[in-house]
Amino acid sequence: MPEAAQRVRNLPPYLFAKIERLIAEKKAAGVDVISLGIGDPDQPTPAHICSEAARQIYEQENHRYPSSAGMLSFRDAVAQWYARRFGVTLDPESEVVSLIGSKEGIAHISWCYVNPGDTVLVPDPGYPVYAGGTILAGGEPYTLPLLPENAFLPRFDEIPTEVAKRAKILFLNYPNNPTAGVATKEFFMEAVSFAREFDILVCHDAAYTEIAYDGYRPPSFLQVHGAKEVGIEFGSVSKPYNMTGWRCGWAAGKKEAIDCLGTLKSNIDSGVFQVVQYAAIAGLTGPQETLAQMNDLYKERREIAVNALREMGWHIQPPKASFYLWLPVPRNFTSESFAEELIEKAGVVVTPGSGYGKYGAGYFRISLTVPTGRLREAFDRLKQVLGRVSF
């Protein structure tokens, strides 16, 4: 058997694959596991979306190869959604490309622009795929610390000039996973200015813009003047419409980058199953009441979690967006040892912050995507095991 390629051996173990194995081991041992570890919505895909998929699955034209760029009707639905939601104008033919989930596009964009030895600016803590795609393309991730004292925003003025000159891509992600930090249009304007100065492609992961509370409406990077000249935005139906398993998303923005990503994809995949694209169209253009209902449900869970954590000793402000809570581990624990303590003694899974990078060490992430009753039970178990914590 030949040895795996160096590019694969350079990859760290994928965080969620390790969590899934841990859960499986505990369940096999008879433990009643409650997982607060993975951000996978627990509610069903809305009925009108499923109905459209059921109707389209019998259409013979949908049984053939789809366009690798995506049906124009799907790309037009994305453009309409941007116009309605953000006031952003997109050409569906040249400024939108379909993706097999935004994760796929995030991984592949580095293949489009990064040569061996090139630098990519990666937020830390951050979604592991930013660095993973960089490594697979032969690039070198340069971490941008996301610190609480900076509201979990990177400081562009702290990036060394020699690093910025070597950089090809800047990854951003707001609302942020894992920190739940949010960004303003003013911050995005800084990103545009920085990208222009150093000829960098901004890639904004906007998977969580529709999960928000208390009247807050997260902005799109593409709303900022000049954004389409320097960057693209990744979007997905996964989180807003409970469609994580359907695998359908998009990239939108700078024409040249969209064309480059489409060219790459035409050589390595055959596009998104058209039935799934029709289902996504139903989500983007159909009734939006289910999204409001989901946000109400996540808000209820957020309050349950925040109140319980405060009772145990955490000083926490409710996040404005996403369905995550990002918290420091108690005294005398590391991210890993704390996660191990909870699974061993409480049967509760949380995500160790160290899995998101160097600056995630000392933190852990909780996801609110579990049934409300199970969330309450999880915190009851944590109170019994931890009591009141100190830092």
| Number of alpha carbons in the 13 Å side-chain half-sphere of residue 26 | 20
DSSP labels, 250-315: EEEE-HHHHHHHHHHHHHH-----HHHHHHHHHHHHS--HHHHHHHHHHHHHHHHHHHHHHHHT--
pLDDT tens, per residue, the chain with 391 residues: 899 998 888 888 766 677 778 788 888 988 899 999 989 999 999 999 999 999 999 999 999 999 989 999 999 999 999 999 999 999 999 999 999 999 999 999 999 999 999 999 999 999 999 999 999 999 999 999 999 999 999 999 999 999 999 999 999 999 999 999 999 999 999 999 999 999 999 999 999 999 999 999 999 999 999 999 999 999 999 999 999 999 999 999 999 999 999 999 999 999 999 999 999 999 999 999 999 999 999 999 999 999 999 999 999 999 999 999 999 999 999 999 999 899 999 999 999 999 999 999 999 999 999 999 999 999 999 999 999 999 8
CATH of 47-285, one of 2.60.40.2470, 3.40.50.1100, 3.40.640.10, 3.90.25.10: 3.40.640.10
Alpha-helical (H) ranges within the chain are 6-9, 15-28, 47-56, 72-86, 102-113, 128-136, 161-166, 185-198, 227-230, 255-268, 274-285, 289-312, 335-346, 372-386
| Terminal Cα-to-Cα distance of the chain (whole angstroms) | 49
- CATH architecture for the domain at 6-45+289-386: Alpha-Beta Complex (3.90)
Cβ atoms 225, 214 nearer than 8 A = no
| Number of alpha carbons in the 13 Å side-chain half-sphere of residue 347 | 15
**Closest residue by Cα to residue 309 from 300, 322, 318:** 318
| 227/101 Cα distance (integer angstroms) | 22
Token pair listed for 275: 């039935």
Domain ranges of the chain: 6-45+289-386, 47-285
| 7/356 Cα distance (integer angstroms) | 19
| 207/238 Cα distance (integer angstroms) | 8
What's the burial of 381, exposed, middle or buried (CB within 10 Å: 0-12/13-18/19+)?
Answer: middle
